[in-house]
Amino acid sequence: MQRLARFFVLLFLLQLALAAPALAHGDARPEKQAILLVAFGSSMPEGQKALKAFDATVRRAYPGMEIRWAWTSRIIRDKLTAAKTAHPESPALALARLAEDGYTQVAVQSLHSIPGEEFSDLEDTVARFRGMPKGLRKITLGQPLMTSPEDIQHAAKALLESQGKRKPDEAVIFMGHGTPHSGNAMYPALQYHLWLLDPDAFVATVEGVPSLDDVLPLLARHKIRSARLVPLMAVAGDHAHNDMAGKEEDSFASRLKAQGIASTPVLQGLAETPAVAALWLEHLRRAVAALQDEPK
């Protein structure tokens, strides 16, 4: 509730700041475009490495265009601010600053894997800024990695391509976060499309469906002796290092070992995996192109 209250205060102050000069002199600002990349965020250097890699890719694709970042996780933002290593902004604050700096058109691109709670909050933020008088004239929103059936097909193909060849008895398990949000349905859908391409490719989530409990019997049935563990997330952050590859007995690696299955963690975020990053980049291309189509 406090977060929502602060959000509305920010919107109100921004309206006052932008509307007053515009009402006095007319809104004669020239069109000025920017891209806002939005990720969950990471407090680990290994996780931030993936975001930097994607940032470099976007800057090569859009030379000369303003590129900014926002992180949806308040916990991560607070950690970095307290550590004085960075001062990441929320999507609302980042959009407010872009408007204050004279930008009139912004393409917002999500780096979330699925349209879950974090993306729903981002959608709400973008919608509220769209309705603000004398603020940003146009805002478009690029979709997460997997939203449509076509997205899921492309993601399945890209994920498997990124792993190259494997041994005959080696599986690959893509670890997602999982959520009670309806967006969790993307994970079972991805599992279906992975199986169409590779019967030994699995999806398991930390907090959703399918879980590792669902996958373990299938590994036994397929006589799997080893497995690669790959984060199904933009960054290989805390979840990848602890829930997936950690030494605790409830980590994916430890639970597989208990079943006699050797594991090889792949600590690389999807944002730094070229075949997958290309899918997010295509969503961004559509969001930037839509700036020209959206009415003022």
Contact (CB, 8 A) for 179 and 117: yes
Q: What is the pLDDT of residues 247-276, one digit of tens each?
A: 999 999 999 999 999 999 999 999 999 999
- Position 23 scores a pLDDT of 40
**Which residues constitute the domain of residue 180?**
149-269
Picking from 41-55, 90-104, 148-162, which range would have the lowest pLDDT averaged per residue? Answer: 41-55
| 248 and 280 both lie in a single domain | no
| 118 and 103 both lie in a single domain | yes
| 157 and 241 both lie in a single domain | yes
Global pTM value = 0.87
Beta bridge partners of residue 265, listed in sequence order? 229
Residues 6+ apart with CB under 8 A from 89: 68, 69, 70, 71, 77, 97
- Position 157 scores a pLDDT of 98
Query: Could you tell me the CATH number of the domain that includes residue 199?
Result: 3.40.50.1400
- Of all residues in the chain, what percent carry a pLDDT higher than 90? 74
pLDDT at 142 > cutoff 50: yes
Return the H-helix or E-strand segment holding 71.
Answer: strand 66-71
Q: What is the pLDDT of residues 164-190, one digit of tens each?
A: 999 989 999 999 999 999 999 999 999
Averaged confidence pLDDT in the chain:
89
| 7 and 112 both lie in a single domain | yes
> Which active-site residues does the annotation give?
177
- Position 238 scores a pLDDT of 87
| 61 and 172 both lie in a single domain | no
The pLDDT of 222-250, averaged and rounded, is 95
Domains identified in the chain, total number: 2
